[in-house]
Amino acid sequence: MNTVDRRVFLRLGVATAATVGLVGCGGGASGGGLSSSDLGTLVQTGVTIGTGDAAKGEQFGNATSALAGATSDVSPEQEFLLGEGVSVKLYSTVGPRLADEQLQRYVNLVARTVAQQSSRPDLQFSVAVLETETVNAFAAPGGFLFVTSGTLKKLKTEAELAAIMGHEIAHVTERHMIKTFKRARLLEAANATLAAVNAAEHSKNIDLGNDLLLNRGLDQNFEFEADDVGLQLAALSGYDPQPYRNFLNVLASDPTLKGGFLQTHPSATARLNRLQALYAGDLAGAGGQTLADRYQQQVLAKLT
Amino acid sequence: MKDWIKIIAAGLLVASPMMLAAQQTLYVKTTDAELRSQQGSGGTLVAKVPQNTKLTVLRQAGLFYQVRTADGKEGFISKIKVQDSSVGGGGGGLGGLVKDDRQLTTMRSQSVNRGVAPQTQEQVTAGLLPEQAVAMHTETEKLANAITTAEVDAFAVAGGLK
């Protein structure tokens, strides 16, 4: 696909996304799906946590814990279909797939290396590098991962990429999006949708999944957990966990970064603060490889 | 005499967390988790322990626990691969994942040859998802599906990770 094609495609994608978004927010007209009140609950909760209301935050934490054991009734078909739909849409809403198979393969090898240490070693993960300057990374249920070329340009080492992949893998292994659906009592609809092949309801679930990834973000507790688990996965894989701290510091000090990553994740400063205990404790003296040269050769030399 | 009291008190302070840790019980939450003689991938393989194996924690060691199995085998296991209760016991929430993940991976592999699921294809037919996005998704899945475990291992070795 040439540059002009890509621009046309992106415009088409955004227009399609806007249309789908309207359909998705239309609520219960088709019955049994994502109602406006359900979505309102979800949004309200996100705002509550975001404002740092301690009491409500604790309440949410308890709710999250209670849900930790409540995902086993989600079938592999449901997880796969939700993930596939959300993934396909991301190519049109975020950016096209970068046309460099060697680079794509390299990023997949890093992710698969890290995933071998995860709590779901039987799940195959895939990664797509999306061509956009936006700094962000995503994970859809079922093991579909994404990272933008804008993010890759901000990194200096393979160790940073490994930690980012670990973060996204953790979202999948801990089933954060599915827990969010369940928490908002949306999965009853999702269950019916995915099993009954109801196209309208499936579309709403895809919209909600994309909205969580691109606009609202997952709950901050899930993001902190993904940082924690992801960094452990990278370290267990043999990567030096320290460069990830450098990456978060770059994010925290970059005045040009707006939206994207910062819109859907807690502040880099808050994330650094939360990781202090891990760095000072279990990761103290962890060592490992940074692989700056390999990253330079495989990624930076091609993107800059 | 006072010095002896101080020494005993200090000894208790040091020993008490270890005594608490020694009473902790954990369960394997993944398939074929490895018990190794040292932390990390170094050392020798002591045993492969299946899901739900009950482990007694001897001590914490960075990203690992040193544990003992019911039949007396001791080794180190990654903290990520254990949880507080047995799978299906309500504490970890990962019940069924072992079987499900194999199914899910099979579905993903099949989609490389058969294309996206009918439900997703309906979205394309209805004009809600672009055909080009499906094509890109398929390219990603094909690439990922073609990467073997041996290639991942070789990549890690080349980088000095293993």
Question: Is A233 strand, coil or helix?
Answer: helix
Q: What is the pTM of this model?
A: 0.76
Average confidence (pLDDT) over B113-136: 92
Choose among B63, B95, B108: nearest Cβ to A232: B63
Percent of chain B with pLDDT over 70: 78
Q: Does B145 sit within 8 Å of A238, measured CB to CB?
A: no
Write down the pLDDT at residue A190. 54
Q: Does B133 sit within 8 Å of A88, measured CB to CB?
A: yes
Number of alpha carbons in the 13 Å side-chain half-sphere of residue B149: 7
A255 to chain B, minimum CA–CA distance in Å? 32
Write down the pLDDT at residue A122. 86
**pLDDT tens, B9-59?**
555 555 444 444 446 999 998 877 899 999 877 789 999 999 889 999 999
Mean of the per-residue pLDDT values of chain B: 83
Pairing of strands B82-83, B25-28: antiparallel
Exposure letters B121-136 (e unless 16+ CB within 10 A, then b): ebbbeeebbbebbbeb
Write down the pLDDT at residue B10. 55
- Counting as low any pLDDT under 50, the low residues of chain A are 1-71, 193-194, 196-197
CA dist., res. A102 & res. B72, Å (int): 48
The predicted complex's ipTM stands at 0.76
Q: Which residue has the higher pLDDT, A251 or B74?
A: B74
B36 token code pair: 């190794």
Q: Chain A: residue nearest B122 by CA?
A: A199
Question: Is A266 strand, coil or helix?
Answer: coil
Cα-atom radius of gyration of chain A, to the nearest Å?
19
- All residues of chain A having their beta carbon less than 8 Å from the beta carbon of residue B161 are 113, 237-239, 288-289
Choose among B31, B136, B143: nearest Cβ to A91: B136
- All residues of chain A having their beta carbon less than 8 Å from the beta carbon of residue B94 are 72, 119
Q: Does A122 sit within 8 Å of B31, measured CB to CB?
A: yes
- All residues of chain A having their beta carbon less than 8 Å from the beta carbon of residue B40 are 236, 238
B46 to chain A, minimum CA–CA distance in Å? 18
- DSSP character for A214? I
Percent of chain A with pLDDT over 70: 69
A199 to chain B, minimum CA–CA distance in Å? 6
Q: Does B161 sit within 8 Å of A113, measured CB to CB?
A: yes
Beta bridge partners of B33: B49
Write down the pLDDT at residue B140. 97
Q: Does B139 sit within 8 Å of A119, measured CB to CB?
A: no
Choose among A92, A96, A119: nearest Cβ to B30: A119
- All residues of chain B having their beta carbon less than 8 Å from the beta carbon of residue A239 are 161
Write down the pLDDT at residue A262. 65
Choose among A23, A92, A124: nearest Cβ to B130: A92
A106 to chain B, minimum CA–CA distance in Å? 9
- All residues of chain B having their beta carbon less than 8 Å from the beta carbon of residue A85 are 119-120, 123, 129
B92 token code pair: 């970890």
- All residues of chain B having their beta carbon less than 8 Å from the beta carbon of residue A238 are 40-41, 156, 159-162
Percent of chain B with pLDDT over 90: 48
Taken in order A274, A280, A284, A289, is the CA torsion positive or negative?
Answer: positive
Q: Does B31 sit within 8 Å of A69, measured CB to CB?
A: no
Write down the pLDDT at residue A188. 58
B25 to chain A, minimum CA–CA distance in Å? 18
A–B: how many Cβ contacts below 8 A? 198
Cα-atom radius of gyration of chain B, to the nearest Å?
24
Report the Cα A159 to chain-centroid distance in Å: 18
Write down the pLDDT at residue A89. 95
Number of alpha carbons in the 13 Å side-chain half-sphere of residue A75: 11
Rounded to whole angstroms, what are the CA distances from A175 to A72, A197, A274, A288, B91? 10, 22, 21, 28, 15
Choose among B88, B129, B156: nearest Cβ to A238: B156
Q: Does B136 sit within 8 Å of A199, measured CB to CB?
A: no
A176 to chain B, minimum CA–CA distance in Å? 12
- All residues of chain B having their beta carbon less than 8 Å from the beta carbon of residue A232 are 63, 79-80
